[in-house]
Amino acid sequence: MRKNLLMLIALALTVACPPFAWAQSMSSTSAPKSSRIDLKGLTKKADSGSRESQFQLGLAYQYGRGVDENIYEAIRWYRKAANNGDLSAQNNLGYLYENGPKGVKDLVEASKWYMRAAMYGCAPAQLNLGLLYLRGWGVRKSTEDGLHWMQRAADSEYPSALAALGYLYGMGEGVPQDLNKALKLTLKAVKKNNPEAQTTLAIFYARGLGVSADAVEAVKWFRKAAAAGNVDAQYGLAVMYETGQGLKKDTEEALRQYRLAGEHGSRQAQAALGEMYELGEGVRADYEEAATWYRRAIDQGDTRSATRLGTMLLRGKGVGRDVEGAIKMWTLAADQGDAYAQFNLAQMYLTGTGVNRDPVKAHSLLTLAGKTLDVSKQLRELSSQISSDEMATVQ
Coil, helix or strand at residue 167: helix
Chain centre to alpha carbon of residue 329: 20
Alpha carbon 75 to its chain centroid, in Å, reads 24
Inter-residue contact 251 to 242 (CB < 8 Å): yes
Rounded CA-CA distance 170/177 in Å is: 6
* Per-residue pLDDT tens over the stretch 277-314: 999 988 999 999 999 999 999 998 899 999 999 999 99
Q: Over pLDDT 70: what percentage of the chain?
A: 89
| Residue 79 predicted with pLDDT over 80 | yes
pLDDT at 174: 79
The band of 390, judged by pLDDT with boundaries at 50, 70 and 90, is low
Q: Are 353 and 344 in contact (CB under 8 A)?
A: no
Query: Using an 8 Å Cβ cutoff, are 288 and 319 in contact?
Result: yes
Say if residue 395's pLDDT is above 90: no
Question: Residue 9, CB half-sphere, CA atoms under 13 Å: how many?
Answer: 22
Q: Which pTM was predicted?
A: 0.81
Contact 59, 65 (CB under 8 A): yes
Which pLDDT does position 126 carry in this prediction? 96
Q: Which residues 6+ apart lie within 8 Å of 387 measured at CB?
A: none
Mean pLDDT of the chain: 89
For the ranges 18-32, 110-124, 222-236, the lowest mean pLDDT is seen at 18-32
Residue 382 vs residue 393, higher pLDDT: 382
Q: How far is CA 305 from CA 32, 278, 292, 294, in A?
A: 44, 11, 11, 5
- Among the listed residues 264, 202, 20, 16, the one whose alpha carbon sits nearest the alpha carbon of residue 127: 20
SS3 243: helix
Sequential DSSP letters for 103-158:
TT--HHHHHHHHHHHHTTT-HHHHHHHHHHHHHTSSS---HHHHHHHHHHHHHTT-
pLDDT score recorded for residue 12: 39
Q: Whose CA is closest to 348, among 310, 390, 306?
A: 310
Q: In whole angstroms, what is the distance from residue 151 CA to residue 154 CA?
A: 5
The predicted-structure confidence for 313-346, as pLDDT tens digits, reads as follows 999 987 899 999 999 999 999 999 999 999 999 9
- Whether residue 340 contacts residue 356, with contact meaning beta carbons closer than 8 Å, is answered with no
In angstroms, rounded to a whole number, what is the distance separating the alpha carbons of residues 164 and 18? 6
Alpha-carbon radius of gyration of the chain: 24
Per residue in 47-67, pLDDT tens?
A: 999 999 999 999 999 999 889
Q: What does the pLDDT read at residue 278?
A: 95
What phi and psi values does residue 324 have, to the nearest 5 degrees?
A: -60, -40
Q: What is the pLDDT of residue 388?
A: 59
In the structure, what pLDDT confidence band is assigned to residue 133 with cuts at 50, 70 and 90?
A: very high
- As a whole number of angstroms, the distance between CA 196 and CA 225 comes to 7
For residue 19, the model assigns a pLDDT of 42
Cα-to-chain-centroid distance, residue 195: 16
Look at 3-7, 78-82, 140-144, 256-260 and tell me which has the smallest mean pLDDT.
3-7
| CA dist., res. 253 & res. 138, Å (int) | 39
CA-to-CA distance for 226 and 218, rounded, in angstroms?
Answer: 12
Could you give the CA distance from residue 170 to residue 211 in angstroms, rounded to a whole number? 11
